[in-house]
Amino acid sequence: MFHITVLAMGKLKEKFYIQAVEEYSKRLSGFCSFRLLELPEYRLPDAPSPAQIAEGLSQEARLIREKLPKGAWFCVLTPEGKKLSSEGFAAALAEVKTNGRSAACFLLGSSFGIAPEIKALADLRLSFSDMTFPHHLARVMLLEQLYRAQSIQAGSRYHK
């Protein structure tokens, strides 16, 4: 069975986001082994300096490295990443499976982004859009797109 891990910086607080994540997690479990790991976001002051931001991202990078599944295909969500259609995303995941990988890991960074050294580890840098979305909504969007990709691969009617 294919394994998907989502690493997300920060904890969801809003009930409607939590419910959406629970629903898509349940749906995904019908296609793969799925787990979501929430990692603590580094606390920064209200108006952090560039040095403070860099230190925060470095601390988060340490946590991320500890939780990256060994041998997993790795995708980071970042504004400068590649934009894919739902079908293109499904094809990219199918290719991961075809190439013999049994696991994929996706990273949603904190509000200040992702450390460059973590981005450098990625097999794919992915962007949802040129628009900016709240991190909590991006988490729901990622899970929905993962479910949609699995549905496309299975030939399900969900995608229509």
Q: How far apart are CA 91 and CA 110, in angstroms?
A: 27
pLDDT band at 152 (very low <50, low <70, confident <90, very high): very high
User: What DSSP designation does 69 have?
Assistant: P
* Structure confidence at residue 160 (pLDDT): 64
pLDDT of residue 156: 87
Q: What is the mean pLDDT of residues 29-40?
A: 96
160 or 139, which is more confident: 139
Burial of 38 (0-12, 13-18, 19+ CB in 10 A): middle
pLDDT band at 159 (very low <50, low <70, confident <90, very high): low
Residue 101 CA to residue 139 CA, distance in Å, equals 23
Residues in the chain: 160
Q: Residue 36: its pLDDT value, please?
A: 97
Q: Which fold has domain 3-159?
A: Alpha/beta knot (3.40.1280)
| 38-52: average pLDDT | 95
Give the pLDDT score at 144: 97
- The answer to whether the CB of 105 falls within 8 A of the CB of 64 is no
- What pLDDT shows up at residue 146? 98
**Which residue type, as a one-letter code, is found at position 115?**
A
pLDDT higher than 70, residue 153: yes
Name the residue among 119, 128, 104 with its Cα closest to residue 64. Answer: 119
The dihedral built from the CA positions of residue 83, 85, 88 and 93, taken in this order, carries a sign that is positive
Q: Is 94 exposed, middle or buried (0-12, 13-18, 19+ CB in 10 A)?
A: middle
Domain residue spans of the chain: 3-159
70-119 confidence digits (pLDDT tens): 999 999 999 999 999 999 999 999 999 999 999 999 999 998 999 999 99
